[in-house]
A and B are shown apart, each in its own frame.
Chain A
Amino acid sequence: QSALTQPASVSGSPGQSITISCTGTSNDIGILNYVSWFQQHPGKAPKVMIYEVSNRPSGISDRFSGSKSGNTASLTISGLQAEDEADYYCSSYTISSTYVFGTGTKVTVL
Chain B
Amino acid sequence: EVQLLDSGGGLVQPGGSLRLSCAASGFTFSTYAMTWVRQAPGKGLECVSFVSNSGGTTYYADSVRGRFTISRDNSKNTVYLQMNSLRAEDTAVYYCAQLRFGYWGQGTLVTVSP
Contact = CB atoms under 8 A, between A and B. Distances in A.
**A and B interact:** yes
Contacts, number: 57
B27 interface: no
B45 A48 contact: no
A52 B46 CA distance: 20
Contacts of B57: 97
Interface of A: 1, 3, 34, 36, 38, 45-48, 51, 57, 89, 91, 93, 96-104
Interface residues of B, number: 22
A68 to B, nearest CB: 16
Given A38-B45, A48-B104, A93-B99, 4 more contacts: A34-B100, A45-B105, A89-B44, A103-B44
A97 B52 contact: yes
Contact of B50 (A38, A48, A51, A98): A98
B102 to A, nearest CB: 3
A61 B52 CA distance: 31
A34 B107 CA distance: 23
20 contacts: A3-B44, A36-B99, A36-B102, A45-B104, A46-B45, A46-B104, A47-B102, A51-B101, A57-B101, A89-B44, A91-B99, A93-B99, A96-B59, A97-B52, A97-B57, A97-B59, A98-B50, A100-B47, A101-B37, A101-B46
